Amino acid sequence: MTGASRGIGAAIARGLAEDGWAVGVNYRSDSDGAEEVVSQLEAAGGQALAIQADVSDPDAADALFPPLEERFGPVLVLVNNAGVRVDGLAPQMEDEAWDKVLATNLSGAFRLTRRALRGMMRARFGRIVNISSIVGQRANPGQANYAASKAGLIAFTSTVAAEVARRSVTVNAVAPGLVETELTKDIGDEMLQAIPARRAGTPEEVAACVRFLVSQEASYVNGTTLTVDGGMTA
């Protein structure tokens, strides 16, 4: 899974390992965090491997998949979690800020999904979960690039799901609201007033949704987006 060295990604990695999956812990720059996650998973009896790759790089899939396939066999579960934010109002947003966010959040997920589907379709089993955001479903001024990437991820999810469903491959999205992570630490407490639950979510609550979508019990859930936001978009 991508972006697994901390926050939501690390929580998902732990959850999948608890369910018996061998986990590839991808990271871009936080090698210490990724190795710590691997150590935690192995200490709990799981199998894990840390792999460095920047998913915005068109060649990232070639760096990620071979080591995992050599050690663990075919990749039958992919969680596209890697994401970045470069916020700013649209009239002042530079091309670089737009391109950076779209390259990581959307194009990276596309390329890794394309690569993963090869083995999944041959095996006639696969689970892909894309971590989107409620920002992809509702306006959030100052995040035109982030919102576009996450909305695009939702549309991408449903389209690919329809393309591969006959091969027993499911493709779903999870759209978290405000979750306590490094990525959201600079968002003010006033946002809590807009959440009916009056609290932020936890990475583990998002991970629980991913674990369900990856499970056999979710084999008939396909092309959907599961919102995890404490009622914010209700």
Backbone φ and ψ for 187, nearest 5 degrees, come out as -90, 130
- Sign of the torsion angle spanned by Cα atoms 156, 145, 175, 9: positive
Beta-strand pair 48-52/77-80: unpaired
DSSP state of 107: I
Tokens of 218: 């979710």
Is residue 146 annotated as part of the catalytic site, yes or no? yes
Instruction: Give dist(CA 7, CA 11) in Å, integer.
Output: 6
Q: Catalytic residue among 144, 146, 173, 175, which?
A: 146
Instruction: Give dist(CA 74, CA 149) in Å, integer.
Output: 28
* Catalytic residue ranges: 146
